[in-house]
Amino acid sequence: MQIGILPPELRSIEQLFAGDTRFSVPKYQRNFAWGPDEIEELWEDLVAAMQRQGEYFLGTLVLQRKDGETHEIIDGQQRLACIAMIFSAIRNVYLASRDDRASQLELAFLGSKDFAREAILTPKLVLNKINNETFVQNVLTSRDLKDIEELLRQKTLHQSNRLLLIAYRYFLGVVTTEAANRGTRADEFLVPLINTLRSQLKLITIPVTSDEDANLFFESLNARGRELAISDLVKNRLYFEAGDQVDRAEQLWDQMESDLGRRPIPEFIRHYWIAKKAPSSSPMVREKHLYRMIAQAISGDKVAALALIQDIRESATDYAKISDFALWPDDPAYDEGFSDAIADLRLFRVTQTNPLLLNTIQRFASPSEVAKTFRIVANFCYRYFIIGNQSPGNLERVSADIARQIRDGTYTSASGIADALRAVNPDPTFRSDFTLAIFTRARSRIARYTLSKVSDHLAHASGQAGAELVANTNPRQVTLEHILPRDLRDPWPKAFSSGLNPADFVYRIGNLTLLTAKVNREAADKSFSDKKQIALMPSQLPLNLDLKALDKWGEKEIEERQDRLAKRAIEVWRL
C-alpha cells in the first residue's frame, strides 16, 4: 500500500513537546487500552535506561498536522498518555513539597495556563471523547492516590477509563514510593528520571500529509499485525466516509456502544453483517474479511456510510434484547416461557444463532411469532450443540443460512424456522445422541438443567404438578447425584458385566438424578440398596419414580433409564 508520508525524524520528548505544540487523538482512534503488562514493561524499561544512562527507543509516533501547532496522533497515543502520567506523578511529589519545579514540568510537558487567578490548564495532549475528561480531571490536575482509589470503586466507570486510572495509579505509586524511600535525597531518583524522560527517551515521528493518508496508514497498521479490533477499523472507515457528517456518525456510533453495553462490538458487527448483508453465495463471514466487505460497500459513498451506521445503531438495540429479557416491551407473548428461552441461550453460551434471532426480531410481524422462534432456537441449540456436540462453526453456518432466508422472505413464521431446524436435527438423531450423552463435572450446570426440565415435564404430564413436584433449581438445596458414585468402591463394580469399566458409566445422564442436598450427603457413596432407602424412596420428584422399583444398579439399568430419558427429551425440546 502506497501512503503519502514525509521523511521520519528521531525526536526526544522534549523536542516533541517544544513550544506550543499540541497533540490530539482523532475520533476514530480506539480508547485507552493498555493493561498492567504494557504499563509495567514501560516503567521497567524506563528505569533500566535511567540506570544505564542510555537512550530508550519508545517506538514510532504517526502524526498528521492539523491547525497551527496541533497534530493528530494516528498511532502512539497509549505511549504518550503514559509519559504524561509519569510527568504528572513526578509533579505530584514536587507539589507535595511546594517545589517550584512542579510548575516547570507542567508548562513543559503537560500544558499551560494564562495569568488569570482561576485559569484552566490547556493540555498539550487531548485524548478522545471517552477518555479526555477522566484524563484531564485526574491526571493533568494531579489527583492523589486516595482520590484515584475512590474513583476506581465506582461501578459505572467506563472500562477504558478504568484502565487509564489503573495505569495512573501504578505510576503514582512507583514514583511516590521511590521518592519517599529516599527522603531528602529524593532528587537522586527524580532528576535522573526527568532527564531520561525529556532527552533520552526517543521516538521516530512519521508525519502523514492528508486525511486520506492518515486513514490509509491507520488501516495498514492492522495489515501489519498491530492489535486493532475490527471495530476500530470499521469505525475509522465510517467516520472517514462520513466527511462533513462525521459528528453525526460519531453520535450514532456512541449510541450503538451504549445500547450494546458490555457485549463485544466486533462480534455484534460480524453478526449484523451476516444477518443483514451477507450474500447467498457466502453467508458465513469471518472477522478477518469483515472490514474489507464493509469498506467495499461504502467506499466513496457518504450516503451509504451514513445509512449503514444508522442501521447498525438501530440494530444494536434489537441485538441487546437477544440476551436480556428486561429490554423487551410488555406483551402477553413475552411471558415466563419466553424469558426461559433467553435464559437457556445464555446458559448454553451460544451467540452463533444471534444473526437468525436478529432478523427474527426485525422481520417477523407479531410478538407471538418472535417468542415462538426464540423457544424453537433455544431447543435446537440444546439438541444440536449441547447434546449433539456439533461445533460452533456448524451452528453458525445453520444460523447464517436461515438468517439469510428470513431476510429474503423465504421464512416468515416460527413454523418455517422449526421445519428448517428439524431437517438439520430430526428427532431420531436427537434421541440417538441423547442415549449416549455424558455430562462431566464441567457440564454439571447443564446436567442439572436437563434433569430439572425432564422432571418438570413429567410432573406436568401427570397432572400432579405442584410446588413439591417441580424440580428446585437452587444448587444449594437440590444437588446433582451420581447414583453410581465417582468413588467406585465395592460392592458397586459387582453389578457390572465382566469386561466393562464402571467408570465409563459414572457421567452418563442415565446415572444422574436430583436429590436434596442433605439427603445427598447422607446417601453419599453407600450401596444402591441403602441409597434407595435413604434418598430415592422418599423423593417426590417424578424423575426418581422409576428408580424405586429397582433392586440393583448396573449397565443395563443405566442404559434403559437413559433411553427412557431420551424419549422424554424429544417431548421437552421439541421443534
Looking at residue 361, its pLDDT comes to 97
Query: If you ran DSSP here, which 8-state letter would residue 136 be given?
Result: I
Looking at residue 297, its pLDDT comes to 92
Cα dihedral sign, 485-487-490-496 = positive
At 380-403, the pLDDT tens digits run 999 999 999 999 999 999 999 999
Looking at residue 476, its pLDDT comes to 61
Looking at residue 218, its pLDDT comes to 57
At 529-567, the pLDDT tens digits run 888 888 888 888 888 888 988 989 999 999 999 999 999
pLDDT score of 510 more than 50: yes
Looking at residue 474, its pLDDT comes to 61
310: confidence class by pLDDT, cuts 50, 70, 90: very high
pLDDT score of 212 more than 80: no
Looking at residue 304, its pLDDT comes to 95
For the chain, what's the residue count? 575
Higher pLDDT, 7 or 255: 255
pLDDT score of 3 more than 50: no
Q: What rounded mean pLDDT belongs to the chain? A: 87
Looking at residue 203, its pLDDT comes to 85
At 406-452, the pLDDT tens digits run 999 999 999 999 999 999 999 999 999 999 999 998 899 999 999 99
Which residue type does 390 have? Answer: Q
For residues 95 and 142, the answer to whether their CB atoms sit within 8 Å is yes
Looking at residue 225, its pLDDT comes to 40
Please report, in angstroms and rounded to a whole number, the separation of the first and last CA atoms in the chain: 51
Residue 51: partners with Cβ closer than 8 Å, 6 or more residues away:
none
The CA distances from residue 510 to 474, 495, 562, in Å, are 21, 16, 4
Euclidean distance between CA atoms 268 and 567, whole angstroms: 37
Looking at residue 271, its pLDDT comes to 96
Decide: pTM greater than 0.85.
no
Which grid cell sits at 61?
509516533
pLDDT score of 339 more than 90: yes
